[in-house]
Amino acid sequence: MSLPRIAVDAMGGDEGVRVMVEGAALARRRHDRFKFLLVGDEMLIKAALENHPNLRAASEILHAPETISGEEKPSQALRRAKHTSMGMAVNAVKAGHAGAAVSGGNTGALMAISKLALRTMPGIDRPALAALLPTLGDNDVIMLDLGANTECDARNLVQFAIMGAAYSRIVTDLDSPRVRLLNIGTEENKGTESLRDAANQLKLAAQGLELTFDGFTEADKICRGDVDVVVSDGFSGNIALKAVEGTARFVGDLLKRAFTSSLRSKLGFLVSRPATELLRGHLDPNNHNGAVFLGLNGIVVKSHGSASALGVANAVHVTARLLEENLIERISGDLAKLGGHGLGNGRAAKGAAAKDAAE
C-alpha cells in the first residue's frame, strides 16, 4: 500500500525555507517510504533542494505566491488562504493530494485555516491542539488542549481524552495510556463543574476504551512520568504549557548565571559538560517539536516557529507516525465504542452539554 504524501509549508517558520527543507530532508531519511509536497516559493524551494537530492527525488513542488506573516490575524489569513503556502498545504490535504500538512507558521492562522478546510470529524465537536512534553519517566506526556478552545464543556474534555489517548498509543506504544484531567486538586469536589462532569463520564466510559482514567492531576505533576495524557481546556492548558516552558528556560538561565559566576564554577562547568549537555538535550524543545491539531478530517502538525532543522524533522517524524498508524481511523473507532456505552451521544453527555450551555 502506498502511503499518503506529507505537505510541508516550506515558507512557515522564523528561519525560512532553508530550515524547513533541511528538516524535511532529515525526516525523509527515517521515513524513506514517504513522498513530500513542498509548498511555497518555487525558486526558493528549488534552491534549498540543491543540497538534498534524496528529498528532491521524493518531492513535488507546489508554488504558492504568498505567505502568511506571524502577526497576521486569523480572520485575515483565512481570506488569503488560497494563495498562501500555509493555506495551499492544508488545502492539499482537503483535496486528497496529501495525507497531512506540517507548518511552522502562525498558530492562530493555521488553526483557523485547518478548521475551515478540513472540518471536525464526525463525533468531535471541537478540535484540540496537542503537544508532547518530556518527563522523568520513559515516555513523553501528551497535553491537550493547548489553546484551540478558550472555554470547554465536559463533552469537549471527554473527546479530548479519547483523542489524546489515541495519539499517545501511537507515540508511546502503550496499550492503555493513563489519562488525567488537569485540576487544582485531586479530590473529587475540586475545580469547575465541567471538570467534575467530565471525570464522571470518563470513569464510566474508560472500561470500554483503550485508556486508563486516573482522575485529576495538579500542574506540578505533569512531568513526573506517571501520567501519559493530561487533558484540559485550552486556556488552562496553554497557561500550564507556557509555565513549564518558561520555568525550564528560567532555571536554565539561572544555571548559566551560576556557572559563569566564578572561575571555579566555570571550571566545574567544563568538567561536567557532558552531563549538562544530556540535560540540555532532554529539555530542548526541538526534541519535542510538533504539536498536532486533533479532531479534524486530516492531520495538521504545527512546528515551532523557531525550530531548528532537527526540530522540523521531529515535527515531520510525528506526522509520518500519525499517518502510518492511522490516527484518524483510531479516533473514529474509539468514538464508536464511546457511543456504544451510551455516552458521548447519550444521556450523560447530553445532560452535561445542556447544563454547560445554560451556564
Chain positions contacting a second copy, by CB under 8 A: 136, 147, 150-151, 182, 184, 191-192, 218-224, 234-236, 238-255, 258-259, 261-262, 264-265, 267-276, 278-279, 282-283, 359
Q: Distance between CA atoms of 190 and 241, rounded to whole angstroms?
A: 21
Smallest gap, in angstroms, from Cβ of residue 283 to a second copy? 7
Contact, 186 vs 217, CB < 8 A? yes
Choose between 236 and 319: whose C-beta lies nearer to a second copy: 236
Cis status, amide bond into 145, omega within 30 of 0: yes
Nearer to a second copy, 244 or 310 (CB): 244
Of the two residues 122 and 274, which places its CB atom closer to a second copy in the complex? 274
CB nearer to a second copy: give 33 or 250.
250
Cα-to-chain-centroid distance, residue 323: 14
Q: Residue 22 or 72: which CB sits closer to a second copy?
A: 72
Element (H, E) at 9: strand 6-9
Query: Which grid cell is 228?
Result: 501519559
Q: Which residues of 264-293 are buried (b: 16+ CB within 10 A; e: fewer)?
A: eeeeeeeeeeeeeeeeeeebbbbebbbbbb
- Phi and psi at 136, nearest 5°, equal -80, -10
Q: Smallest distance from the beta carbon of 337 to a second copy, in angstroms?
A: 31
- In the bound state with a second copy, the residue whose beta carbon lies nearer, of 125 and 218, is 218
State which residue, 91 or 217, has the beta carbon closest to a second copy: 217
Q: Of 36, 30, 31, 39, which is closest to residue 5 (Cα–Cα)? A: 36
Residue that has been written with the C-alpha cell 513549564 in this structure:
244
**DSSP letters spanning 285-296:** GGGG--EEEESB
Q: How far is the CB of 254 from a second copy (least distance, A)?
A: 5
Pick between residue 181 and residue 327 the one whose CB is nearest to a second copy.
181
Q: How many helices, marked H, and strands, marked E, lie in the chain?
A: 14, 11
**Least distance (Å) from a second copy to the CB of residue 199?**
15
Torsion of CA 355, 203, 345, 167, to 10 degrees: 110
Least gap, CB of 66 to a second copy (angstroms)? 22
Structure-block grid coordinates of residue 68: 502568511
CB of 224 to a second copy, least distance (A): 7
Q: Report in angstroms how near the CB of residue 268 gets to a second copy at its nearest.
A: 3
* In the complex, least distance from residue 348 CB atom to a second copy, rounded to whole angstroms: 22
Q: Which is nearer to a second copy, 264 or 347 (CB)?
A: 264
Q: What is the nearest approach in angstroms of a second copy to the Cβ of residue 147? A: 6
Cβ distance 128 to 294 under 8 Å?
yes
Instruction: For residue 305, give the amino acid letter.
Output: G
Query: H helices of 175-308, where?
Result: 193-205, 234-259, 263-271, 273-283
